[in-house]
Amino acid sequence: MTTVLTEPAVGVDRARAARGRRPRPPRDWRGWQFAGPFAVVFVLVFIAPLAYALWLSLFQTRMIGGTVFVGFDNYATALGDAQFWDGFSRVFVFLLVQVPIMLLLALVAALAIDSARLYASGLFRLVIFLPYAVPAVVAVLMWGFIYGDNFGLAADLNDLFGTDVIRPFAPEWILGSIGNIVTWEFVGYNMLIFYSALKTVPYELYEAAEIDGASGFQVLKAVKLPAVRGAVVIATIFSIIGSFQLFNEPNVIAPLAANVITSDYTPNMYAYNLSFAGQQYNYAATIAIIMGLITAVIAYAVQLRGTRREDR
């Protein structure tokens, strides 16, 4: 800090004025007084945990031998860890299939409710949104009863048709079964994002379209879809983050579908089991940081691409 503490002599001041410079005003800390409380919370809640995770990821704690500094060893291990990449590719496939289906359904629902051709659209809006209000753990348990192929609804359907085709917990179906639950949970949430974007379209635009003789489909194409483009980008980014963080659904289903869901089914489950069952806090922190970086890069790429399109 280099602030002037004593009153400058008049002569010096004048000399400065002659050189065309003004005395530097004393630094004003009032801004910090406003921003300070925020900064403290921000540092404690966001920066400190991140820094701590980074710090942890540079060490290795052993049951025998204690903690040693290992530099980037954990990162090297993680990059070559087949279990981690298996989980990663699983959530990536999940992302590629589930997110488009969910967002399309949400968009259709939002357009339907916005079309003003629906009776009791308020009721539909509420009912579609309701699953989002159900805690994820409860929702998954509920679906677990439906999926049960011994005594659940799936078993009853199999009995009814005399087949054993419907096996939501079978290894080849389980990812789809999870996708179904996630879609059910989040269609309403995304619908609400799209719906609120549609609500911001000024009435004059519709009026102008009508005067121009635009058909319902043309209105959809030229007015409504451009209006929700920004919302779609945001919803996509949320969904990407959500997919990469997939945890609740497989974790709650795991005991119901014995041994189908492994401890490294998704990167988050892998990190969780590493740290809580395996006491490998350091390696778990490394996995979490790598996953965070990948998520940030992909989300950022989507945002860049999405906004560029918007500019066109």
Partner 1 sequence: MSTSQPQRLARRTLFLASGTGLLGAALTACGDDAGPAENGEPADLDAALEEGGELTYWTWTPSGQAQVDAFMAAHPNVTVELVNAGTGTDQYTALQNAVAAGSGAPDVAQIEYYALQQFALSEALVDLTQYGFADFEADYTASTWSAVNLNGGVYGLPQDSGPLVMAYNQAVFDEFGIAVPATWEEYITAAEALHTADADRYLTNDAGDAGYAQPLIWQADGRPYEVDGENVTIDLQDEGTRRWADAWNRMLEPGLLAPIPTWSDDWWQALSNGTIASLITGAWIPGILQGSVPDGAGHWRIAPVPSYDGSPATSENGGSAQSVLQQSKNPALAAAFLRWLNHSEDSVGVFLDSGGFPATTADLESEEFLGAAPEYFGGQQINQVLVEAAGNVEPGFQYLPFQVYANSIFPDTVGTAYVDRSDLNTGLQAWQEQLVTYGNSQGFKVN
Q: Which of residues 163-222 bind partner 1 (CB under 8 A)?
A: 171
Among 81, 114, 185, 264, binds partner 1 (CB under 8 A): 264
- Under the criterion CB under 8 A, does residue 259 sit at the interface with partner 1? yes
Q: Which residue has the tokens 């009032």?
A: 30
Is 23 a binding residue for partner 1 by CB under 8 A? The answer is: no
Q: How many CB atoms lie within 10 A of CB 105?
A: 18
Helical (H) or strand (E) element with 61: strand 59-62
Per-residue CA distances from 172 to 175, 179, 218 (Å):
7, 13, 42
| 106, amino acid identity | A
**Complex with partner 1: residue 109 or 181, whichever CB lies closer:** 181
Q: Which of 20, 25, 65, 122 binds partner 1 (CB under 8 A)?
A: 65
Q: Is 36 in the site for partner 1 (CB under 8 A)?
A: yes
Joined together, the tokens standing for residue 19 give 């050189």
Q: Where does this chain touch partner 1 (CB under 8 A) — which range of 147-155, 191-199, 211-219, 237-245? A: 147-155
Secondary structure (3-state) at 1:
coil
The yes or no reply on residue 116 touching partner 1 (CB under 8 A) is no
Residue among 21 and 30 whose Cβ is closer to partner 1: 30
Smallest distance, Å, CB 83 to partner 1? Answer: 8
Q: Which is nearer to partner 1, 190 or 275 (CB)?
A: 275
Segment near partner 1 (CB under 8 A); pick from 43-51, 106-114, 130-138, 236-244: 43-51
Closest distance of CB 59 from partner 1, Å: 11
The answer to whether residue 258 forms part of the interface with partner 1 (CB under 8 A) is yes
Q: Rounded to the nearest whole angstrom, what is the least distance from the CB of residue 278 to partner 1 in the complex?
A: 4
State the number of binding residues for partner 1 (CB under 8 A).
40
Helix axes 267-276, 82-114, angle to 10 degrees: 130
CB of 65 to partner 1, least distance (A): 4
Pair 113, 124: CB distance under 8 Å? yes
> Least distance in Å: CB of 256 to partner 1?
6
* Residue type present at position 55: W
Residue 268 CB, nearest approach to partner 1 (Å): 15
**Start-end of H helices in the chain:** 10-18, 30-42, 48-56, 73-79, 82-114, 121-133, 136-147, 153-161, 174-199, 203-211, 216-219, 225-244, 248-253, 267-276, 281-311
By CB under 8 A, tell whether 8 contacts partner 1: no
Which 267-286 residues touch partner 1, going by CB under 8 A? 273, 276-281
Decide if residue 150 touches partner 1 (CB under 8 A): yes
74 and 286 Cβ atoms separated by less than 8 Å: yes
- Residues 235 and 188 sit within 8 Å (Cβ to Cβ): no
CB 240 within 8 A of CB 95: yes
Closest by CA position to 198, among listed 107, 310, 129: 107
Residues that bind partner 1 (CB under 8 A): 1, 3, 5, 29-30, 36, 40, 43-44, 48, 51-52, 62-65, 83, 145, 148, 150-152, 171, 254-256, 258-264, 273, 276-281
